[in-house]
Amino acid sequence: KQEVTQIPAALSVPEGENLVLNCSFTDSAIYNLQWFRQDPGKGLTSLLLIQSSQREQTSGRLNASLDKSSGRSTLYIAASQPGDSATYLCAVIRPGGSYIPTFGRGTSLIVHP
């Protein structure tokens, strides 16, 4: 059974810092990995999707990397801003069947001015 772990569980940083959020998974046979952002009490916003054959994806100040062999992904946030404050979730999809994702518990990020 796939298990997804996110470290740290919570993070509080001053504005402007560069951040790294970690996601690890136990089964390296994945189809893709997706990073989401969730604002308090809200739904999920897709940030980046990395296919199993890719090593990284970039969108603006966000960069996500994937190392399948070690079962790890990182989300790098450059020059953090207070508007980045949210919970960040990673989800891993295994190949075959109905492609249902397994979610981590998330990293709760606070960026203070």
Partner 1 sequence: SAVISQKPSRDICQRGTSLTIQCQVDSQVTMMFWYRQQPGQSLTLIATANQGSEATYESGFVIDKFPISRPNLTFSTLTVSNMSPEDSSIYLCSVEDPTYAYNEQFFGPGTRLTVL
Write out the residues near partner 1 by the rule CB under 8 A: 31-32, 34, 36, 41-46, 49, 51, 89, 91, 93, 98-101, 103-106
**Which is closer to partner 1, CB of 17 or CB of 89?**
89
Q: Which two tokens stand for residue 75?
A: 């989300």
**Which is closer to partner 1, CB of 5 or CB of 63?**
5
Taking a C-beta distance cutoff of 8 angstroms, is the pair 6, 46 a contact? no
**Closest separation in Å from C-beta 84 to partner 1:** 19
Cβ-based neighbours of 108, under 8 Å, separated by 6 or more: 9, 10, 11, 87
**Closest separation in Å from C-beta 44 to partner 1:** 4
Q: Is the dihedral of CA 59, 38, 65, 100 positive or negative?
A: negative
**Which is closer to partner 1, CB of 18 or CB of 59?**
59
Closest CA relative to residue 60, chosen from 42, 88, 79: 79
**Closest separation in Å from C-beta 46 to partner 1:** 6
